[in-house]
Structure 1
Amino acid sequence: MADDDGVVDEGTETAALREALAAEHAAVWGYGSVGAALPAEGRPPAVAAENAHRDVRDRLAALLDGRDADPVPAEGGYTLPFPVLSATDAAALAVVLEEGVAAAWVRVLDQAARAAVRELAVGVLAAAEVRAVGWRTAAGETPPTTAFPGLPAG
């Protein structure tokens, strides 16, 4: 964002991008658990989502590297918010992953100093919500959509 003097603060933008990268790492890892709990015929959406998050993760890492900002490394493992013992649990976990990514990208959008970063944030945020709608439907959640993806409810 620009300050009162019109100076762009890339530091806050970079910090938000690092947070988004951490969320993307968690999503990539989490989709392994999602896919493992789905029957073989139900795995293509999980594989597609994992690949989408890998692509965004790699793009973010390159962007941060280009700024000489150390990309956030992936953790060795992540704690799941609940046991994933069924296809419904897997879909619910995918919703949590997409909502976590969406929240991180809303922060990027809020802190973006450059138009290209805002465009990236809007695109990734929209894609996360599209995936979340499918997973909410599979998990039996209603409503399947959110009015403002990435923002806290209420």
Structure 2
Amino acid sequence: MTGRPTEPTLPSRRTFLRAGALAALAVPLAAACSPGYDESPDPLAPLLSAAEADVAGAKALTGAEAEAVATARAAHAAALKTEVDRLNRPKPTQSGPAGNAPSSLEGLKERLAQARKQAEGLVPSLPRYRAGMVASIAAGCAALQQSSDQLGRGDDAGPVTVPAGPPLSQEAAEAVQQALAAEHAATWVYGLVSAYLPAAFSGAVTRGSAEHVKRRDVCERMLSAAGQSPAGPEAAYVPPKPVTDANSAMELVATAEADAAAAWLGVIDRTDDTALRATALNALIGSARRGTAWRAEFGAKPVVIAMPGQTA
């Protein structure tokens, strides 16, 4: 027999308190030793790498299409670089052809389609201040596609529909009211210009007008479902420049599409709802593409707005 107790000795209450105090101290110490920022790779870094490669490839080519791509993608790269550098998150491992400069217009065509798809895929999940920028870049790629057959024309945007999900928040409802105002104005513009454009443009006018009427209805339904009163159209609209001929009529339509793009980008900037963002992104891309087509018709320089919806 050793004389040891047959039951374990229990620690005193003071021991428990001392252990608890040490554990409490360990939490802030661990936090103080943590890096304090997101260590995951920046999802915008691949977009930046692709934009920089596209600029290099486009500058090595000749022709109006290559020049347009170089200019627009340089604007995309500059916006992305500012944001990537600001957060200074780890760079992802390079994968795929993002870092390889395209060596032909066919290569640029493929790269624009890839960049647009990648940007569109990121919009639903990004923080607001990033989602708006990336949505604008997606629209810029879509506008480049629309500007030339050699760049592929690309696919039209998806339909603008009432998003499934909860009613609009107050902040989002205010943004949708602004989009509704832009849609009222665009509908009025398409009605005005029909008197100044040749018959060859009647199809484009009819399609554009019908699209804006649909969007107007979508805005009104979203607002009504949220318990808001949709604002009606103004009694009259004053064009920024007098409409006197076909060219000035086309310029006014392009301006209306740019205003609509800005309003829908404002919706993306003011919501976290992924379904509403998708609706707004489709509207933004649709206006960017139609605006590009009209700008090409009246000879605007540049034809392509690099980041549709963004303020200059």
TM-score, normalization by structure 1 = 0.90
**1:83 CA drift (Å):** 1.3
- Correspondence for 1:43: 202
Distance in 2 (CA, whole Å) between partners of 1:118 and 1:42 is 31
Match of 1:12 among 141, 148, 171: 171
Amino acid at match of 2:244: L
Answering whether residue 180 of structure 2 is matched by residue 21 of structure 1, we say yes
Please tell me whether the aligned partners of residues 92 and 135 of structure 1 are also in contact (alpha carbons under 8 angstroms).
Answer: yes
Residues 63-120 of structure 1: per-residue CA shift (max 9 Å, x gap): 1111111111111221111111111111100111001101111110100231111001
Distance in 2 (CA, whole Å) between partners of 1:81 and 1:47 is 23
- Give the superposed CA RMSD: 1.5
- Correspondence for 1:124: 283
Q: SS at the partner of 1:69?
A: coil
Q: SS at the partner of 1:36?
A: coil
- Which structure is richer in relative contact order (CA contacts within 8 A, separation 6 or more)? 1
- Correspondence for 1:73: 232
Identity of aligned residues (%): 34
Please tell me whether the aligned partners of residues 10 and 113 of structure 1 are also in contact (alpha carbons under 8 angstroms).
Answer: no
Amino acid at match of 1:125: L
Answering whether residue 211 of structure 2 is matched by residue 56 of structure 1, we say no
- Correspondence for 2:299: 140
Runs of 4+ in 1 over 3 A off after TM superposition: none
Distance in 2 (CA, whole Å) between partners of 1:94 and 1:130 is 12
Aligned positions, number: 147
- Correspondence for 2:253: 94
Flag structure 1 segments of 5+ consecutive residues without an equivalent: 3-8
Match of 1:113 among 272, 278, 294: 272
Q: SS at the partner of 2:206?
A: helix
Amino acid at match of 1:21: L
Greater Cα radius of gyration, structure 1 or 2 = 2
Q: SS at the partner of 1:102?
A: helix
Amino acid at match of 1:118: R
**1:10 CA drift (Å):** 1.3
Please tell me whether the aligned partners of residues 13 and 113 of structure 1 are also in contact (alpha carbons under 8 angstroms).
Answer: no
Amino acid at match of 1:20: A
Amino acid at match of 2:210: N
Distance in 2 (CA, whole Å) between partners of 1:84 and 1:47 is 19
Match of 2:309 among 141, 150, 154: 150
- Correspondence for 1:5: none
Single out whichever of 35-44 and 21-30 deviates more from structure 2: 35-44
TM-score, normalization by structure 2 = 0.46
